[in-house]
Structure 1
Amino acid sequence: MARKPIVADQFYDSDFDNLQKQITNCFEGKLGPGTLPISKRDGEILGIIVPHAGYFYSGQCAAWAYKEIGEAAMPDLFIILGPDHTGSGSAISAEDWTTPFSDLKADIEFAKVLEATAEQNSGIKINNKAHEKEHSIEVQLPFLQFVNKDHMKTMKMLAIMVSHDVNIKKLAEDIKAAIKLTKKTVCFITSSDFTHYGENFGFTPFIYNIKESLLEMDNGAIETIKKLDSSVFLNYVKKTGATICGTLPIALMIDIIWQDVSDVHLLSYYTSVDITEGKDYSHSVGYAAMVFK
Protein backbone atom coordinates (compact mmCIF):
# COMPACT_ATOMS: atom_id res chain seq x y z
CA MET A 1 0.00 0.00 0.00
CA ALA A 2 1.12 3.55 -0.77
CA ARG A 3 -0.10 6.73 0.85
CA LYS A 4 -2.50 8.43 -1.58
CA PRO A 5 -2.49 12.18 -2.26
CA ILE A 6 -5.13 14.22 -0.44
CA VAL A 7 -4.51 17.74 -1.78
CA ALA A 8 -3.98 17.07 -5.50
CA ASP A 9 -6.26 19.43 -7.45
CA GLN A 10 -6.36 21.70 -4.39
CA PHE A 11 -2.73 22.62 -3.71
CA TYR A 12 -1.29 21.39 -7.02
CA ASP A 13 -2.51 19.90 -10.30
CA SER A 14 -3.31 16.18 -10.39
CA ASP A 15 -2.62 15.75 -14.12
CA PHE A 16 0.94 14.65 -15.02
CA ASP A 17 1.49 17.12 -17.88
CA ASN A 18 -0.30 20.01 -16.20
CA LEU A 19 1.69 19.48 -13.01
CA GLN A 20 4.95 19.60 -14.98
CA LYS A 21 3.85 22.91 -16.50
CA GLN A 22 2.72 24.22 -13.12
CA ILE A 23 6.08 23.49 -11.48
CA THR A 24 8.01 24.83 -14.49
CA ASN A 25 6.04 28.07 -14.16
CA CYS A 26 7.03 28.24 -10.48
CA PHE A 27 10.69 28.23 -11.49
CA GLU A 28 10.24 30.69 -14.34
CA GLY A 29 7.75 33.05 -12.65
CA LYS A 30 8.65 36.61 -11.70
CA LEU A 31 9.08 35.67 -8.02
CA GLY A 32 10.83 32.38 -8.81
CA PRO A 33 14.54 31.79 -9.50
CA GLY A 34 13.99 32.44 -13.21
CA THR A 35 15.41 29.20 -14.58
CA LEU A 36 15.14 25.46 -14.08
CA PRO A 37 17.93 23.65 -12.20
CA ILE A 38 21.16 23.04 -14.09
CA SER A 39 22.09 19.37 -13.72
CA LYS A 40 25.61 19.89 -12.46
CA ARG A 41 24.94 17.77 -9.33
CA ASP A 42 27.85 18.81 -7.17
CA GLY A 43 28.20 20.15 -3.65
CA GLU A 44 26.35 18.99 -0.56
CA ILE A 45 23.14 20.41 0.86
CA LEU A 46 22.35 19.53 4.46
CA GLY A 47 18.83 20.91 4.42
CA ILE A 48 16.27 23.41 3.24
CA ILE A 49 13.28 25.20 4.70
CA VAL A 50 10.46 25.43 2.19
CA PRO A 51 6.77 26.48 2.32
CA HIS A 52 3.79 24.17 1.87
CA ALA A 53 0.88 26.29 0.68
CA GLY A 54 -0.80 25.79 -2.68
CA TYR A 55 1.63 26.13 -5.56
CA PHE A 56 -0.21 29.24 -6.79
CA TYR A 57 0.83 31.00 -3.59
CA SER A 58 4.13 29.49 -2.40
CA GLY A 59 5.36 27.53 -5.41
CA GLN A 60 7.71 30.23 -6.68
CA CYS A 61 9.29 30.52 -3.25
CA ALA A 62 9.65 26.74 -3.02
CA ALA A 63 11.30 26.65 -6.45
CA TRP A 64 14.29 28.57 -5.08
CA ALA A 65 15.02 25.83 -2.55
CA TYR A 66 14.40 22.97 -4.97
CA LYS A 67 16.71 24.55 -7.54
CA GLU A 68 19.45 24.18 -4.92
CA ILE A 69 18.54 20.52 -4.41
CA GLY A 70 18.38 19.88 -8.14
CA GLU A 71 21.90 21.23 -8.63
CA ALA A 72 23.48 19.47 -5.62
CA ALA A 73 24.89 15.98 -5.20
CA MET A 74 22.24 13.30 -4.75
CA PRO A 75 22.00 12.05 -1.14
CA ASP A 76 21.10 8.51 -0.15
CA LEU A 77 17.98 9.76 1.58
CA PHE A 78 15.70 12.79 1.80
CA ILE A 79 14.15 13.15 5.25
CA ILE A 80 11.09 15.38 5.09
CA LEU A 81 10.06 17.00 8.37
CA GLY A 82 6.54 18.35 8.54
CA PRO A 83 4.32 19.89 11.21
CA ASP A 84 1.16 18.28 12.53
CA HIS A 85 -1.92 20.22 11.39
CA THR A 86 -4.32 17.37 12.17
CA GLY A 87 -3.59 16.56 15.81
CA SER A 88 -2.39 13.06 14.93
CA GLY A 89 0.89 13.45 16.82
CA SER A 90 4.51 12.78 15.89
CA ALA A 91 4.98 9.82 13.58
CA ILE A 92 7.32 8.16 11.10
CA SER A 93 5.86 7.03 7.78
CA ALA A 94 7.15 3.69 6.50
CA GLU A 95 5.22 3.42 3.25
CA ASP A 96 5.65 4.73 -0.28
CA TRP A 97 3.85 7.95 -1.25
CA THR A 98 1.91 8.34 -4.48
CA THR A 99 2.06 11.55 -6.53
CA PRO A 100 0.76 12.36 -10.03
CA PHE A 101 4.29 11.66 -11.29
CA SER A 102 4.85 8.22 -9.70
CA ASP A 103 5.29 6.48 -6.36
CA LEU A 104 8.12 7.83 -4.22
CA LYS A 105 9.87 5.04 -2.35
CA ALA A 106 10.14 5.17 1.42
CA ASP A 107 13.35 4.02 3.10
CA ILE A 108 11.68 1.38 5.23
CA GLU A 109 15.00 0.07 6.54
CA PHE A 110 15.89 3.51 7.91
CA ALA A 111 12.40 3.90 9.37
CA LYS A 112 12.78 0.67 11.33
CA VAL A 113 16.27 1.60 12.54
CA LEU A 114 14.98 4.98 13.71
CA GLU A 115 12.01 3.46 15.52
CA ALA A 116 14.27 0.95 17.29
CA THR A 117 16.76 3.67 18.22
CA ALA A 118 14.00 5.91 19.53
CA GLU A 119 12.35 3.23 21.66
CA GLN A 120 14.33 4.13 24.79
CA ASN A 121 14.66 7.84 24.02
CA SER A 122 12.19 10.03 22.08
CA GLY A 123 9.73 7.19 21.64
CA ILE A 124 8.62 8.17 18.15
CA LYS A 125 7.03 5.28 16.26
CA ILE A 126 6.05 4.25 12.77
CA ASN A 127 2.42 5.22 12.23
CA ASN A 128 1.36 5.41 8.61
CA LYS A 129 -2.23 6.27 9.45
CA ALA A 130 -1.17 9.47 11.24
CA HIS A 131 0.10 10.81 7.90
CA GLU A 132 -3.09 10.16 5.92
CA LYS A 133 -4.62 13.64 6.30
CA GLU A 134 -1.49 15.80 6.70
CA HIS A 135 -0.65 17.92 3.65
CA SER A 136 2.65 19.58 4.62
CA ILE A 137 4.85 16.68 3.50
CA GLU A 138 2.78 15.66 0.48
CA VAL A 139 3.11 19.13 -1.06
CA GLN A 140 6.91 18.75 -1.19
CA LEU A 141 6.98 15.52 -3.16
CA PRO A 142 6.15 16.63 -6.74
CA PHE A 143 8.82 19.34 -6.48
CA LEU A 144 11.34 16.81 -5.17
CA GLN A 145 10.57 14.43 -8.03
CA PHE A 146 10.64 17.22 -10.62
CA VAL A 147 14.23 18.22 -9.79
CA ASN A 148 15.37 14.58 -9.53
CA LYS A 149 13.83 13.13 -12.70
CA ASP A 150 16.93 11.06 -13.47
CA HIS A 151 16.72 9.43 -10.03
CA MET A 152 12.97 8.86 -9.88
CA LYS A 153 13.23 5.06 -9.56
CA THR A 154 16.07 4.98 -7.03
CA MET A 155 15.35 8.03 -4.88
CA LYS A 156 14.40 7.30 -1.25
CA MET A 157 12.52 9.46 1.23
CA LEU A 158 11.36 9.29 4.82
CA ALA A 159 8.46 11.37 6.13
CA ILE A 160 8.43 12.42 9.79
CA MET A 161 5.59 14.44 11.28
CA VAL A 162 6.70 16.48 14.30
CA SER A 163 4.33 17.59 17.04
CA HIS A 164 4.35 18.70 20.68
CA ASP A 165 4.18 15.13 21.98
CA VAL A 166 7.87 14.46 21.34
CA ASN A 167 11.06 15.86 22.88
CA ILE A 168 12.82 17.61 20.01
CA LYS A 169 16.32 17.24 21.47
CA LYS A 170 15.84 13.50 22.00
CA LEU A 171 14.39 13.01 18.52
CA ALA A 172 17.39 14.83 17.03
CA GLU A 173 19.66 12.42 18.92
CA ASP A 174 17.71 9.46 17.56
CA ILE A 175 17.83 10.65 13.96
CA LYS A 176 21.56 11.34 14.17
CA ALA A 177 22.11 7.88 15.66
CA ALA A 178 20.09 6.24 12.87
CA ILE A 179 22.10 8.12 10.25
CA LYS A 180 25.32 6.90 11.85
CA LEU A 181 24.09 3.31 12.06
CA THR A 182 22.90 3.20 8.45
CA LYS A 183 25.84 5.24 7.09
CA LYS A 184 23.45 7.25 4.90
CA THR A 185 24.00 10.66 3.38
CA VAL A 186 20.91 12.72 4.16
CA CYS A 187 19.32 15.97 3.02
CA PHE A 188 16.57 17.39 5.23
CA ILE A 189 13.51 19.09 3.77
CA THR A 190 11.71 21.08 6.46
CA SER A 191 8.19 22.07 5.52
CA SER A 192 6.96 25.34 7.01
CA ASP A 193 5.09 28.49 6.17
CA PHE A 194 5.96 31.60 8.15
CA THR A 195 3.69 34.04 9.98
CA HIS A 196 -0.05 33.65 9.41
CA TYR A 197 -1.79 36.97 10.04
CA GLY A 198 -5.51 37.64 10.29
CA GLU A 199 -8.65 36.94 12.25
CA ASN A 200 -9.05 33.57 10.53
CA PHE A 201 -5.71 32.55 12.03
CA GLY A 202 -6.49 34.07 15.41
CA PHE A 203 -3.42 36.29 15.13
CA THR A 204 -3.78 40.08 14.93
CA PRO A 205 -1.10 41.52 17.25
CA PHE A 206 -0.92 44.72 15.21
CA ILE A 207 -3.51 46.61 13.17
CA TYR A 208 -1.38 49.38 11.66
CA ASN A 209 1.56 49.01 9.27
CA ILE A 210 0.69 45.33 8.91
CA LYS A 211 2.95 44.73 5.91
CA GLU A 212 6.00 46.24 7.60
CA SER A 213 5.24 44.54 10.92
CA LEU A 214 4.87 41.12 9.27
CA LEU A 215 8.16 41.56 7.44
CA GLU A 216 9.86 42.57 10.68
CA MET A 217 8.44 39.56 12.53
CA ASP A 218 9.41 37.03 9.86
CA ASN A 219 12.81 38.61 9.29
CA GLY A 220 13.47 38.32 13.01
CA ALA A 221 12.61 34.61 12.86
CA ILE A 222 14.87 34.09 9.85
CA GLU A 223 17.77 35.80 11.60
CA THR A 224 17.36 33.57 14.67
CA ILE A 225 17.31 30.48 12.44
CA LYS A 226 20.63 31.61 10.95
CA LYS A 227 22.15 31.47 14.44
CA LEU A 228 21.73 27.66 14.34
CA ASP A 229 20.57 27.52 17.95
CA SER A 230 17.12 26.00 18.31
CA SER A 231 16.56 27.54 21.75
CA VAL A 232 17.12 31.05 20.36
CA PHE A 233 14.61 30.37 17.59
CA LEU A 234 12.03 28.79 19.91
CA ASN A 235 12.36 31.65 22.39
CA TYR A 236 11.79 34.16 19.59
CA VAL A 237 8.63 32.37 18.48
CA LYS A 238 7.38 32.19 22.06
CA LYS A 239 8.17 35.86 22.72
CA THR A 240 6.59 37.22 19.54
CA GLY A 241 3.82 34.66 19.13
CA ALA A 242 4.81 34.30 15.46
CA THR A 243 2.45 31.77 13.89
CA ILE A 244 5.12 29.73 12.10
CA CYS A 245 3.44 26.35 11.64
CA GLY A 246 6.70 24.44 11.18
CA THR A 247 8.35 25.79 14.32
CA LEU A 248 9.04 22.32 15.74
CA PRO A 249 10.35 20.77 12.48
CA ILE A 250 12.64 23.78 12.02
CA ALA A 251 13.98 23.44 15.57
CA LEU A 252 14.49 19.72 15.01
CA MET A 253 16.49 20.21 11.81
CA ILE A 254 18.67 22.82 13.51
CA ASP A 255 19.42 20.41 16.36
CA ILE A 256 20.41 17.69 13.88
CA ILE A 257 22.65 19.61 11.48
CA TRP A 258 23.96 22.70 13.30
CA GLN A 259 27.46 21.33 13.88
CA ASP A 260 27.97 20.58 10.18
CA VAL A 261 26.58 23.78 8.67
CA SER A 262 29.12 26.19 7.15
CA ASP A 263 26.64 28.39 5.29
CA VAL A 264 22.98 29.25 5.75
CA HIS A 265 21.11 31.90 3.85
CA LEU A 266 17.71 33.11 2.75
CA LEU A 267 16.86 32.41 -0.89
CA SER A 268 13.40 33.95 -1.15
CA TYR A 269 10.76 35.63 0.97
CA TYR A 270 7.38 37.06 0.06
CA THR A 271 3.78 36.97 1.27
CA SER A 272 0.52 35.69 -0.17
CA VAL A 273 -0.48 39.30 -0.85
CA ASP A 274 2.55 39.71 -3.13
CA ILE A 275 1.13 36.91 -5.26
CA THR A 276 -2.36 38.38 -5.50
CA GLU A 277 -0.81 41.84 -6.02
CA GLY A 278 -3.19 43.31 -3.51
CA LYS A 279 -2.71 45.83 -0.74
CA ASP A 280 -4.87 44.30 1.99
CA TYR A 281 -2.67 42.47 4.48
CA SER A 282 -5.52 41.74 6.90
CA HIS A 283 -5.29 38.08 5.84
CA SER A 284 -1.82 37.04 4.75
CA VAL A 285 0.86 34.38 5.08
CA GLY A 286 4.64 34.70 4.80
CA TYR A 287 6.70 32.24 2.76
CA ALA A 288 10.46 31.71 3.02
CA ALA A 289 12.98 29.43 1.34
CA MET A 290 16.31 28.84 3.09
CA VAL A 291 19.27 26.58 2.37
CA PHE A 292 21.82 25.06 4.75
CA LYS A 293 25.17 23.85 3.38
Structure 2
Amino acid sequence: TPSHTAQIENCSIAAVDAYVTPLGPVPLDAEAARTLLFSPLFTSRSLQYRKVAQREQVHEYEYGDEALLPYLQERLREFKIVPIVVGKLTDATDKFNPGAVEGIVDALKPLLDGRTLVVASSSFTHFGNDFSNRPFNDNIVEGIEHLDRQAFELVLARDMNGFERYLTKTKNVIDGARCIQILMRLLPERCRSRILAYEISGVKTGDLNRSISFAAFTFHDPAQPAAEARPDKVRPLPVHVQPPAREGADSGTPPVESVPQESKP
Protein backbone atom coordinates (compact mmCIF):
# COMPACT_ATOMS: atom_id res chain seq x y z
CA THR A 1 0.00 0.00 0.00
CA PRO A 2 1.16 3.60 -0.51
CA SER A 3 1.90 5.72 2.53
CA HIS A 4 -1.21 7.84 3.04
CA THR A 5 -0.30 9.58 6.28
CA ALA A 6 3.48 10.04 6.32
CA GLN A 7 6.25 11.04 3.93
CA ILE A 8 8.79 8.22 3.60
CA GLU A 9 11.36 7.53 0.93
CA ASN A 10 11.43 3.76 0.45
CA CYS A 11 9.52 0.86 2.05
CA SER A 12 8.51 0.25 5.64
CA ILE A 13 7.25 -2.83 7.50
CA ALA A 14 5.56 -2.50 10.87
CA ALA A 15 7.45 -4.19 13.72
CA VAL A 16 4.43 -6.07 15.05
CA ASP A 17 3.48 -9.72 15.51
CA ALA A 18 0.05 -9.46 13.90
CA TYR A 19 -2.67 -7.18 12.63
CA VAL A 20 -6.07 -7.57 14.31
CA THR A 21 -9.45 -7.00 12.65
CA PRO A 22 -12.99 -7.86 13.83
CA LEU A 23 -12.49 -11.22 12.10
CA GLY A 24 -9.43 -12.01 14.20
CA PRO A 25 -5.64 -11.70 14.08
CA VAL A 26 -3.55 -11.94 10.91
CA PRO A 27 0.05 -12.89 11.77
CA LEU A 28 3.06 -11.44 10.03
CA ASP A 29 5.42 -13.70 8.15
CA ALA A 30 8.34 -12.80 10.38
CA GLU A 31 10.91 -14.79 8.41
CA ALA A 32 10.00 -13.11 5.11
CA ALA A 33 9.98 -9.69 6.76
CA ARG A 34 13.45 -10.27 8.23
CA THR A 35 14.74 -11.32 4.82
CA LEU A 36 13.49 -8.09 3.24
CA LEU A 37 15.24 -6.02 5.89
CA PHE A 38 18.61 -7.11 4.47
CA SER A 39 17.81 -4.71 1.61
CA PRO A 40 18.53 -1.00 2.28
CA LEU A 41 15.21 -0.24 0.59
CA PHE A 42 13.25 -1.75 3.49
CA THR A 43 12.98 -0.50 7.06
CA SER A 44 11.19 -1.86 10.11
CA ARG A 45 9.41 0.67 12.32
CA SER A 46 7.97 0.20 15.79
CA LEU A 47 4.66 1.81 16.69
CA GLN A 48 4.09 4.75 19.04
CA TYR A 49 0.45 5.59 19.64
CA ARG A 50 1.04 8.99 21.18
CA LYS A 51 -0.54 12.36 20.69
CA VAL A 52 2.94 13.85 20.39
CA ALA A 53 5.26 11.24 18.92
CA GLN A 54 9.04 11.44 18.91
CA ARG A 55 9.12 10.73 15.20
CA GLU A 56 6.83 10.68 12.18
CA GLN A 57 4.20 7.98 12.57
CA VAL A 58 4.12 5.76 9.50
CA HIS A 59 2.08 2.71 10.48
CA GLU A 60 0.04 4.05 13.39
CA TYR A 61 -2.59 5.66 11.19
CA GLU A 62 -1.99 3.90 7.87
CA TYR A 63 -5.28 2.47 6.61
CA GLY A 64 -4.29 1.14 3.18
CA ASP A 65 -3.22 -2.31 4.35
CA GLU A 66 -5.76 -2.64 7.16
CA ALA A 67 -8.70 -1.92 4.84
CA LEU A 68 -7.80 -4.95 2.71
CA LEU A 69 -7.42 -7.50 5.48
CA PRO A 70 -11.10 -8.32 6.18
CA TYR A 71 -11.64 -9.14 2.50
CA LEU A 72 -8.65 -11.47 2.50
CA GLN A 73 -9.76 -13.04 5.77
CA GLU A 74 -13.24 -13.64 4.36
CA ARG A 75 -11.88 -15.72 1.49
CA LEU A 76 -8.55 -17.11 2.71
CA ARG A 77 -9.21 -17.45 6.44
CA GLU A 78 -5.69 -18.51 7.48
CA PHE A 79 -2.63 -16.83 6.05
CA LYS A 80 0.41 -14.76 6.92
CA ILE A 81 1.17 -11.31 5.56
CA VAL A 82 4.11 -9.08 4.81
CA PRO A 83 2.45 -5.63 4.85
CA ILE A 84 4.68 -3.15 3.03
CA VAL A 85 4.07 0.59 3.07
CA VAL A 86 5.65 2.12 -0.03
CA GLY A 87 7.16 5.60 -0.04
CA LYS A 88 8.01 8.11 -2.77
CA LEU A 89 10.81 6.11 -4.45
CA THR A 90 12.51 9.24 -5.73
CA ASP A 91 16.14 10.19 -6.31
CA ALA A 92 18.14 13.15 -4.99
CA THR A 93 16.35 15.47 -7.43
CA ASP A 94 12.93 14.25 -6.24
CA LYS A 95 12.28 12.48 -9.54
CA PHE A 96 10.98 8.92 -9.85
CA ASN A 97 13.78 6.42 -9.31
CA PRO A 98 13.17 3.26 -11.39
CA GLY A 99 16.28 1.75 -9.81
CA ALA A 100 14.49 1.72 -6.47
CA VAL A 101 11.63 -0.25 -8.02
CA GLU A 102 14.09 -2.77 -9.47
CA GLY A 103 15.82 -3.12 -6.10
CA ILE A 104 12.51 -3.74 -4.33
CA VAL A 105 11.52 -6.31 -6.95
CA ASP A 106 14.87 -8.09 -6.59
CA ALA A 107 14.28 -8.33 -2.84
CA LEU A 108 10.72 -9.62 -3.21
CA LYS A 109 11.14 -12.21 -5.96
CA PRO A 110 12.98 -14.87 -3.89
CA LEU A 111 10.06 -14.85 -1.42
CA LEU A 112 7.39 -15.69 -4.00
CA ASP A 113 6.17 -19.22 -4.59
CA GLY A 114 3.10 -20.91 -6.05
CA ARG A 115 0.96 -20.00 -3.06
CA THR A 116 1.95 -16.35 -2.74
CA LEU A 117 -0.73 -13.76 -3.38
CA VAL A 118 0.65 -10.31 -4.18
CA VAL A 119 -1.82 -7.49 -3.54
CA ALA A 120 -0.97 -3.97 -4.71
CA SER A 121 -3.27 -1.33 -3.26
CA SER A 122 -4.08 1.87 -5.12
CA SER A 123 -7.02 3.98 -6.19
CA PHE A 124 -6.93 5.88 -9.47
CA THR A 125 -7.95 9.41 -10.49
CA HIS A 126 -8.35 11.76 -7.52
CA PHE A 127 -10.40 14.64 -8.91
CA GLY A 128 -11.17 17.92 -7.18
CA ASN A 129 -9.68 20.87 -5.38
CA ASP A 130 -9.10 18.74 -2.28
CA PHE A 131 -6.48 16.85 -4.30
CA SER A 132 -5.16 19.88 -6.22
CA ASN A 133 -6.30 18.09 -9.36
CA ARG A 134 -9.08 19.69 -11.38
CA PRO A 135 -7.90 19.72 -15.01
CA PHE A 136 -11.42 20.32 -16.38
CA ASN A 137 -14.74 21.79 -15.22
CA ASP A 138 -17.09 20.48 -17.92
CA ASN A 139 -18.00 16.89 -18.84
CA ILE A 140 -16.36 15.79 -15.62
CA VAL A 141 -17.40 12.13 -15.69
CA GLU A 142 -16.20 11.74 -19.27
CA GLY A 143 -12.92 13.45 -18.42
CA ILE A 144 -12.30 11.22 -15.41
CA GLU A 145 -13.12 8.12 -17.44
CA HIS A 146 -10.66 9.21 -20.12
CA LEU A 147 -7.88 9.66 -17.56
CA ASP A 148 -8.69 6.33 -15.95
CA ARG A 149 -8.82 4.38 -19.20
CA GLN A 150 -5.42 5.69 -20.26
CA ALA A 151 -4.01 4.46 -16.96
CA PHE A 152 -5.84 1.12 -17.20
CA GLU A 153 -4.35 0.37 -20.62
CA LEU A 154 -0.85 0.90 -19.25
CA VAL A 155 -1.54 -1.21 -16.16
CA LEU A 156 -2.95 -4.06 -18.25
CA ALA A 157 0.12 -3.85 -20.52
CA ARG A 158 2.43 -3.66 -17.46
CA ASP A 159 4.22 -0.69 -19.05
CA MET A 160 6.06 0.88 -16.11
CA ASN A 161 7.88 3.56 -18.11
CA GLY A 162 4.77 4.42 -20.10
CA PHE A 163 2.83 4.72 -16.86
CA GLU A 164 5.42 7.14 -15.51
CA ARG A 165 5.22 9.22 -18.70
CA TYR A 166 1.43 9.27 -18.30
CA LEU A 167 1.74 10.53 -14.71
CA THR A 168 4.19 13.24 -15.78
CA LYS A 169 2.09 14.37 -18.73
CA THR A 170 -1.36 14.35 -17.12
CA LYS A 171 -0.33 15.28 -13.55
CA ASN A 172 -3.03 12.83 -12.50
CA VAL A 173 -3.13 11.99 -8.79
CA ILE A 174 -2.89 8.21 -8.32
CA ASP A 175 -1.90 7.53 -4.73
CA GLY A 176 -0.52 4.03 -5.23
CA ALA A 177 1.38 4.69 -8.45
CA ARG A 178 4.62 3.29 -6.99
CA CYS A 179 2.83 0.16 -5.77
CA ILE A 180 1.47 -0.36 -9.28
CA GLN A 181 4.92 0.07 -10.81
CA ILE A 182 6.43 -2.45 -8.40
CA LEU A 183 3.74 -4.94 -9.38
CA MET A 184 4.38 -4.29 -13.08
CA ARG A 185 8.03 -5.27 -12.69
CA LEU A 186 7.27 -8.17 -10.37
CA LEU A 187 4.98 -9.94 -12.83
CA PRO A 188 6.38 -12.29 -15.50
CA GLU A 189 6.16 -11.17 -19.11
CA ARG A 190 3.84 -14.05 -20.02
CA CYS A 191 1.22 -13.22 -17.40
CA ARG A 192 -2.30 -12.29 -18.42
CA SER A 193 -4.26 -9.43 -16.93
CA ARG A 194 -7.91 -8.60 -16.56
CA ILE A 195 -9.96 -5.76 -15.11
CA LEU A 196 -12.72 -6.97 -12.81
CA ALA A 197 -14.54 -3.83 -11.70
CA TYR A 198 -14.47 -0.04 -12.07
CA GLU A 199 -16.34 2.69 -10.21
CA ILE A 200 -16.16 6.47 -9.87
CA SER A 201 -17.09 7.64 -6.38
CA GLY A 202 -18.47 10.96 -7.62
CA VAL A 203 -21.01 9.10 -9.74
CA LYS A 204 -22.09 7.05 -6.74
CA THR A 205 -22.37 10.00 -4.36
CA GLY A 206 -23.58 12.58 -6.86
CA ASP A 207 -20.77 14.92 -5.79
CA LEU A 208 -18.31 15.43 -8.62
CA ASN A 209 -16.42 18.16 -6.78
CA ARG A 210 -14.53 15.42 -4.95
CA SER A 211 -14.19 12.09 -6.68
CA ILE A 212 -11.90 9.07 -6.50
CA SER A 213 -11.81 6.27 -9.05
CA PHE A 214 -11.53 2.64 -7.99
CA ALA A 215 -10.71 -0.41 -10.08
CA ALA A 216 -9.80 -4.03 -9.43
CA PHE A 217 -7.39 -6.04 -11.59
CA THR A 218 -6.22 -9.62 -11.55
CA PHE A 219 -2.98 -10.99 -13.00
CA HIS A 220 -2.09 -14.64 -13.45
CA ASP A 221 0.64 -16.69 -15.06
CA PRO A 222 -0.89 -19.19 -17.53
CA ALA A 223 2.30 -21.26 -17.41
CA GLN A 224 1.79 -22.01 -13.72
CA PRO A 225 -0.72 -24.62 -12.51
CA ALA A 226 -3.64 -23.32 -10.53
CA ALA A 227 -3.10 -23.45 -6.78
CA GLU A 228 -4.76 -26.41 -5.13
CA ALA A 229 -7.96 -25.39 -3.37
CA ARG A 230 -8.21 -25.90 0.36
CA PRO A 231 -11.93 -25.81 1.18
CA ASP A 232 -11.31 -26.25 4.89
CA LYS A 233 -9.28 -23.02 4.88
CA VAL A 234 -11.84 -20.86 3.08
CA ARG A 235 -14.79 -19.08 4.61
CA PRO A 236 -18.10 -19.87 2.87
CA LEU A 237 -19.10 -17.06 0.55
CA PRO A 238 -22.41 -15.55 1.68
CA VAL A 239 -25.16 -15.25 -0.89
CA HIS A 240 -26.63 -11.79 -1.32
CA VAL A 241 -29.70 -11.02 -3.38
CA GLN A 242 -29.30 -7.93 -5.52
CA PRO A 243 -32.43 -5.74 -5.33
CA PRO A 244 -34.00 -4.90 -8.70
CA ALA A 245 -32.96 -1.60 -10.23
CA ARG A 246 -35.50 1.18 -9.97
CA GLU A 247 -37.06 2.13 -13.26
CA GLY A 248 -35.39 5.20 -14.65
CA ALA A 249 -32.59 5.09 -12.08
CA ASP A 250 -29.18 6.36 -13.07
CA SER A 251 -27.06 3.37 -14.01
CA GLY A 252 -23.93 5.21 -12.85
CA THR A 253 -20.50 4.32 -14.17
CA PRO A 254 -20.41 2.53 -17.53
CA PRO A 255 -19.99 -1.25 -17.26
CA VAL A 256 -16.60 -2.87 -17.02
CA GLU A 257 -16.96 -4.03 -20.62
CA SER A 258 -16.28 -0.43 -21.68
CA VAL A 259 -12.62 -0.73 -20.69
CA PRO A 260 -9.98 -3.17 -21.96
CA GLN A 261 -10.68 -6.61 -20.51
CA GLU A 262 -7.63 -8.69 -21.07
CA SER A 263 -4.06 -8.32 -22.17
CA LYS A 264 -2.43 -11.34 -23.77
CA PRO A 265 1.23 -11.76 -24.62
Please tell me the residue identity of whatever aligns with 2:24: S
Asked if 1:271 corresponds to 2:189, the answer is no
Task: Provide the residue aligned with 1:98 in structure 2.
Answer: 20
Of the candidates 172, 176, 186, which is equivalent to residue 242 of structure 1? Answer: 172
Please tell me the residue identity of whatever aligns with 2:218: V
- What whole-Å deviation, never above 9, does each CA across 1:34-70 have from its counterpart, x for those lacking one? xxxxxxxxxxxxxxxxxxxxxxxxxxxxxxxxxxxxx
* 235-244 vs 103-112, greater mean Cα deviation: 235-244
Asked if 1:127 corresponds to 2:45, the answer is yes
Q: CA RMSD in A?
A: 1.7
**More relative contact order in 1 or in 2 (CA 8 Å, sep 6+)?**
1
Shift in Å at residue 94 of structure 1?
4.4
Shift in Å at residue 184 of structure 1?
6.5
Task: Provide the residue aligned with 1:173 in structure 2.
Answer: 106
Q: Tell whether the 8 Å contact from 2:89 to 2:178 is kept in structure 1 after alignment.
A: no
Secondary structure (helix, strand or coil) at the match of 2:212 reads strand
Task: Provide the residue aligned with 1:160 in structure 2.
Answer: 84
Query: How far apart are the structure 2 equivalents of 1:207 and 1:232?
Result: 27
Secondary structure (helix, strand or coil) at the match of 2:35 reads helix
Please tell me the residue identity of whatever aligns with 1:109: E
Query: How far apart are the structure 1 equivalents of 2:128 and 2:62?
Result: 22
Q: 5+ unaligned residues in a row in structure 1: which ranges?
A: 1-81
Query: How far apart are the structure 1 equivalents of 2:89 and 2:173?
Result: 19
Secondary structure (helix, strand or coil) at the match of 2:187 reads helix
Q: 5+ unaligned residues in a row in structure 2: which ranges?
A: 48-57, 91-99, 221-265
Asked if 1:289 corresponds to 2:213, the answer is no
Q: Tell whether the 8 Å contact from 1:94 to 1:107 is kept in structure 2 after alignment.
A: no
Secondary structure (helix, strand or coil) at the match of 2:130 reads helix
Secondary structure (helix, strand or coil) at the match of 1:252 reads helix
Shift in Å at residue 128 of structure 1?
4.0
Q: Please, what TM-score do these two structures have when normalized by structure 2?
A: 0.70
Q: Tell whether the 8 Å contact from 1:114 to 1:175 is kept in structure 2 after alignment.
A: yes
Q: How many residues align?
A: 198
1:1-293 matches, within 5 Å, as: 82-89=1-8, 90-95=11-16, 96-116=18-38, 118-119=39-40, 123-129=41-47, 130-149=58-77, 152=78, 155-165=79-89, 167-179=100-112, 185-261=115-191, 263-276=192-205, 278=206, 280-293=207-220
Shift in Å at residue 229 of structure 1?
2.1
Query: How far apart are the structure 2 equivalents of 1:260 and 1:87?
Result: 36
Query: How far apart are the structure 1 equivalents of 2:203 and 2:139?
Result: 16
Shift in Å at residue 92 of structure 1?
1.9
Assess, with a 3 A threshold, how the Cα gap between structure 1 residues 88 and 127 changes in structure 2: closer, same or farther.
Answer: farther
Q: Tell whether the 8 Å contact from 1:93 to 1:111 is kept in structure 2 after alignment.
A: no
Secondary structure (helix, strand or coil) at the match of 1:147 reads helix
- What whole-Å deviation, never above 9, does each CA across 1:146-195 have from its counterpart, x for those lacking one? 1123xx3xx1111001111461121111111344xxx5732111111111
Q: Tell whether the 8 Å contact from 1:91 to 1:124 is kept in structure 2 after alignment.
A: yes
- What whole-Å deviation, never above 9, does each CA across 1:194-230 have from its counterpart, x for those lacking one? 1111111111111111110000000100001111121
- What whole-Å deviation, never above 9, does each CA across 1:220-249 have from its counterpart, x for those lacking one? 000011111211112111211111110000
Shift in Å at residue 274 of structure 1?
3.0
Please tell me the residue identity of whatever aligns with 2:196: L
Please tell me the residue identity of whatever aligns with 1:238: T
